[in-house]
Chains A and B, each alone.
Chain A
């Protein structure tokens, strides 16, 4: 079964650092881009950025460049999203998603279950 398994719920204080993970299984991890998507409480989906694990080519959404860091470790088929200094406004559910593409189309076909991050003093 193709799946993305994300790390568990996090509760942090403002200013703390954090790294959450997304482990792929059931497919060749290096062959697909992995995206990160934010969903703030009661709000819609926002694209943070994407990484190609084979060569770590990483692109960030315009609003998130410099705010987060996306990385991947091919030795354990895992993508990461990290913050160096959390803010209360980072409180959200974070999803990873695999990007499928062919000659005509592309889509985020497999999603992780999400990691809830709460930042509160």
Chain B
């Protein structure tokens, strides 16, 4: 199996930009997807593929990829963006195994 790793926490001033990263060997082969989870709620998909946003996700959320690193950027962070963010990728074996990162807590100051 393979892992994807994330920094545990990051803070951002209201209206500023924050980048969350996810690293893993599988990211050289597969795009990451990103999920936002607020306390007491189910995760919500915010970014997938090269840089795709599901319907209803604000365009301040964007994704990028380079080598073994995937990134989620929030440009102009809002108070409602305070949440845990998880990346996920297919396992490097490609055998319908998936891994989630340990999550990054984003605090909006």
**Interface readout for B32-53 with A: 1 if CB under 8 Å, 0 if not?**
0101010000111100111010
Interface 9-residue window, one of B9-17, B20-28, B75-83, B95-103: B95-103
Q: Would you give the shortest CB distance from B71 to chain A, in whole angstroms?
A: 16
Q: Give which listed residue, A45, A100, A106, A107, contacts B100 with CB less than 8 A.
A: A45
Q: Give which listed residue, B30, B33, B50, B97, contacts A108 with CB less than 8 A.
A: B33
Contacting pair B52 A105 (CB below 8 A): yes
Given contacts A44-B102, A45-B103, A62-B1, contact A108 B45 (CB under 8 A): yes
Q: Give which listed residue, A47, A95, A102, A109, contacts B98 with CB less than 8 A.
A: A47
Given contacts A44-B102, A44-B103, A45-B35, contact A106 B97 (CB under 8 A): no
Q: Give which listed residue, B30, B45, B97, contacts A61 with CB less than 8 A.
A: B97
Q: How many residues does chain B have at the interface if contact means C-beta atoms less than 8 Å apart?
A: 28
Question: Is B61 an interface position by the 8 A CB rule?
Answer: no
Give residues 55-109 of B contacting A (CB, 8 Å). Answer: 84, 86, 88, 90, 95-103
Contacting pair B102 A109 (CB below 8 A): no
Show the binding face of A for B, using Cβ within 8 Å: 33, 35, 37, 44-47, 50, 59, 61-62, 95, 97, 100, 102, 104-109, 111-114
Given contacts A106-B48, A107-B49, 12 further A-B contacts (CB under 8 A): A37-B43, A44-B86, A46-B100, A47-B98, A47-B100, A61-B98, A105-B31, A106-B31, A106-B90, A107-B48, A109-B48, A111-B45
**19 examples of A-B residue contacts, CB within 8 angstroms:** A33-B96, A37-B100, A44-B86, A45-B43, A45-B86, A59-B97, A61-B1, A62-B97, A95-B42, A95-B43, A100-B48, A105-B48, A105-B50, A106-B31, A106-B48, A107-B48, A108-B88, A111-B42, A111-B43
